[in-house]
Chains A and B, each alone.
Chain A
Amino acid sequence: MAELVLMKGNEAIAEAAIRAGCRFYAGYPITPQNELCEYMARRMPEVGGTFIQSESEIAAINMVYGAGSAGARAMTSSSSPGISLKQEGISYLAGAEVPGVIVNMVRGGPGLGSIQPAQSDYFQATRGGGHGDYRTVVLGPGSIQEAVELTMLAFDIADRYRNPVVVLGDGMLGQMMEPVRFPDTPPPSPQPKPWATTGTRGRGHPNIINSLYIEAEACERHNQRLQEKYRRIEREEVRYELVDPEAEYFLVAYGTGSRICRAVIARAQAEGLRVGMVRPITLWPFPQVAIEQVVERARAFLAVEMSAGQMVEDVRLAVAGRCPVYFFGRTGGAVPTPQEVMSRLKMIVEGRGGEL
């Protein structure tokens, strides 16, 4: 049994990546994810990997594109403004079907915003974010232990589908410390990547990594193929947690937001209210199936986010008018308190739900 160690979220994610076989990391400093970059600077040379402090986030993601094309497990990390810069490269990774892992420790925005935790990059992460019709798998860990597990999983998913995978944390998750256990099992030996640009030796024909399809029909065929892949991911990779499926009211929250909601559920249940939670772990694909499991019984859903209301749109789509969906959020780096969420919940229970 692996020992329990106390670690900061950013560092735990970095260590998890290394244990998952990541051997290439490029990043550019930005608060609140700097410890991840610094940890990689220390550890990568020890494991025979590469750490590069790039000249910009744009360069970092393009280095990941290169290393990923050459078959390496490659990662970059940043926080909101830096992720905006990475979007060009993420679109290219998706278009050329190059695996890569991108960690976003979200902070308040828009613009330079704040350095406090936020969830306001949900749209950017789950809708593609860069140009073109594409999707990235988005994983939203709710604890440092889960961040470790999902980071390791991110590399597997990225390789399996040849697609970028985003680990969407926030400043809180990055900065806090929790006990974590790294799995004992050695990382799976890397699967062969016959498509990688590693030189033609022993292969005979050149491999080409490319996202250009100059003719509309060819580009559409490429898009159709990508869309088929995304449908497959939607079938195979949905992950979520359902807290008290027998409840009447359901909070919907992910990541740090879900931690606040756990405190709310404890209080609400102490007061005799039947409150449960749908906690998406994959934000894309969104766990529609979790909503389906409880929607017939639910009296209302309350989406709680550290944003002005982004995931709530997915909740509304999933609920499809079958019951009311309410929202509570704080923005800019302010974190909702359990009291605030509790009073919003009580308004709903008492029929004073207010705005949907």
Chain B
Amino acid sequence: MQRIFTRPQALTDVPFHYCPGCPHGIVHRLVAECIDELGVRERTVGIAPVGCAVFAYNYFNCDMIQAAHGRAPAVATGVKRAQPDAVVFTYQGDGDLAAIGTAEIIHAATRGERITVVFINNAIYGMTGGQMAPTTLVGQETTTTPRGRDASYHGHPVRVSEMLALLDGTAYVARVSVHGPGHVNRAKRALRKAFEVQIHNLGFSLVEVVSACPTNWGMTPVEALRWVEQNMLPYYRLGEFKTPGQGEA
């Protein structure tokens, strides 16, 4: 019998704690597959965020560091500079990366740190129970925008990829989604490219994954995926915003 589907080597044999229908698990798997395919597991150091993915250090079968909320890019900078040969990635949510850690992500990007950032944009703070994130859409209800996000009162949602693509230090910036099989495949290709950019020493790379939080959005997994397509994607345009040597698209 031929085995055609197995757990990637870069994942441990530990069940994910994520809610049913949560895309965090899919993205973990994609990242692990990239690490396997590129043959870099033994020199990979991952940085876990604060957020639902805080336990990522239990799931990735490579060296892992748990960082303070938002500080993963600074921690990754320290690792990469101390060990230029390492393949370093951070895995961060939108609260982590686009609120408390905005300074760290922008400056790691402008420095052109040779790191790869996996940025999960689910438009909400998952772990703390569904509060507004910087990426929460206008009109979206959260526990701290109970009547929906009002741009004139709560401010506007931030588009991280577009913003970072403007910086000279970034080499690869893409936004992908995982709400259907075709998208999952495209997400995988983008993640792989982001790691390759790092391995070829071309600069900072980031893949934003438009994600879902069925639990805190108060939806079934299927409803949540539909909501991604209908509400998130019109605002968070998918595509490659910057590729090496090409400048901003």
Q: Which of B41-49, B150-158, B161-169 contacts A (4 or more CB under 8 A)?
A: B41-49
Q: Are A208 and B66 in contact (CB under 8 A)?
A: yes
Contacts of A96 in B (CB 8 A): 65-66
Q: Which of B82-132 contact A (CB under 8 A)?
A: 82-83, 85-86, 103-104, 106-107, 111
Whether a CB of chain B sits under 8 angstroms from the CB of A320 is no
Q: Are A67 and B74 in contact (CB under 8 A)?
A: no
Contacts of B74 in A (CB 8 A): 54, 58-60, 62-63, 65-66
Question: Which of A50, A62, A71, A206 contacts B75 (CB under 8 A)?
Answer: A62
Q: With A and B bound together, what is the CA distance between A55 and B106 in angstroms? A: 9
Question: Which of A60, A66, A199 contacts B44 (CB under 8 A)?
Answer: A199
Contacts of A201 in B (CB 8 A): 42-43
Q: With A and B bound together, what is the CA distance between A208 and B79 in angstroms? A: 13
Contacts of B85 in A (CB 8 A): 199
Question: Which of A54, A55, A198 contacts B86 (CB under 8 A)?
Answer: A198
Q: Which of B56-64, B190-198, B204-212 contacts A (4 or more CB under 8 A)?
A: B56-64
Whether a CB of chain A sits under 8 angstroms from the CB of B67 is yes
Q: With A and B bound together, what is the CA distance between A197 and B45 in angstroms? A: 7
Whether a CB of chain B sits under 8 angstroms from the CB of A64 is yes
Contacts of A197 in B (CB 8 A): 45, 63-65, 79
Contacts of B80 in A (CB 8 A): 66
Q: Are A58 and B71 in contact (CB under 8 A)?
A: yes
Question: Which of B45, B61, B81 contacts A199 (CB under 8 A)?
Answer: B45
Complex interface bits, A1-42 against B, C-beta within 8 A gives 1, otherwise 0: 000000000000000000000011010000000000000000
Q: Which of B170-195 contact A (CB under 8 A)?
A: none
Q: Are A206 and B82 in contact (CB under 8 A)?
A: no
Complex interface bits, A207-220 against B, C-beta within 8 A gives 1, otherwise 0: 11111100000000
Q: Are A71 and B63 in contact (CB under 8 A)?
A: no
Nearest-neighbor residue (CB-CB) of A69 within chain B: B65
Q: Are A64 and B78 in contact (CB under 8 A)?
A: yes
A51 to chain B, nearest CB (A): 9
Q: Are A62 and B103 CB-contacts (below 8 A) given A67-B82, A71-B82, A199-B43?
A: no
Question: Which of B75, B83, B106 contacts A65 (CB under 8 A)?
Answer: B75
Q: With A and B bound together, what is the CA distance between A63 and B74 in angstroms? A: 5
Question: Which of A58, A66, A212 contacts B54 (CB under 8 A)?
Answer: A212
Nearest-neighbor residue (CB-CB) of B71 within chain A: A62
Q: With A and B bound together, what is the CA distance between A52 and B111 in angstroms? A: 10
Q: Are B57 and A26 in contact (CB under 8 A)?
A: no
Q: Are B86 and A199 in contact (CB under 8 A)?
A: yes
Whether a CB of chain A sits under 8 angstroms from the CB of B68 is yes
Whether a CB of chain A sits under 8 angstroms from the CB of B77 is yes
Q: With A and B bound together, what is the CA distance between A63 and B78 in angstroms? A: 4
Q: Are B78 and A74 in contact (CB under 8 A)?
A: yes
Whether a CB of chain B sits under 8 angstroms from the CB of A142 is no
Q: Are A199 and B42 in contact (CB under 8 A)?
A: yes
B169 to chain A, nearest CB (A): 12
Q: Are A24 and B78 in contact (CB under 8 A)?
A: yes
Whether a CB of chain A sits under 8 angstroms from the CB of B76 is yes
Q: Which of A64-93 contact B (CB under 8 A)?
A: 64-72, 74, 88-89, 92
A210 to chain B, nearest CB (A): 4
Whether a CB of chain B sits under 8 angstroms from the CB of A200 is yes
B230 to chain A, nearest CB (A): 35
Q: With A and B bound together, what is the CA distance between A65 and B66 in angstroms? A: 10
Nearest-neighbor residue (CB-CB) of B68 within chain A: A92
B73 to chain A, nearest CB (A): 8
Q: Are A72 and B103 in contact (CB under 8 A)?
A: no
**What are 8 A-B pairs with beta-carbon distances under 8 A?**
A55-B103, A63-B81, A66-B75, A69-B75, A88-B71, A206-B60, A206-B62, A208-B58
> Given known contacts A58-B104, A70-B82, A206-B62, what 20 new A-B pairs fall within 8 Å (CB)?
A23-B82, A50-B81, A52-B81, A52-B111, A56-B103, A59-B103, A63-B74, A63-B75, A66-B75, A67-B78, A68-B78, A69-B65, A71-B82, A74-B82, A197-B64, A199-B85, A200-B41, A200-B63, A206-B60, A206-B63
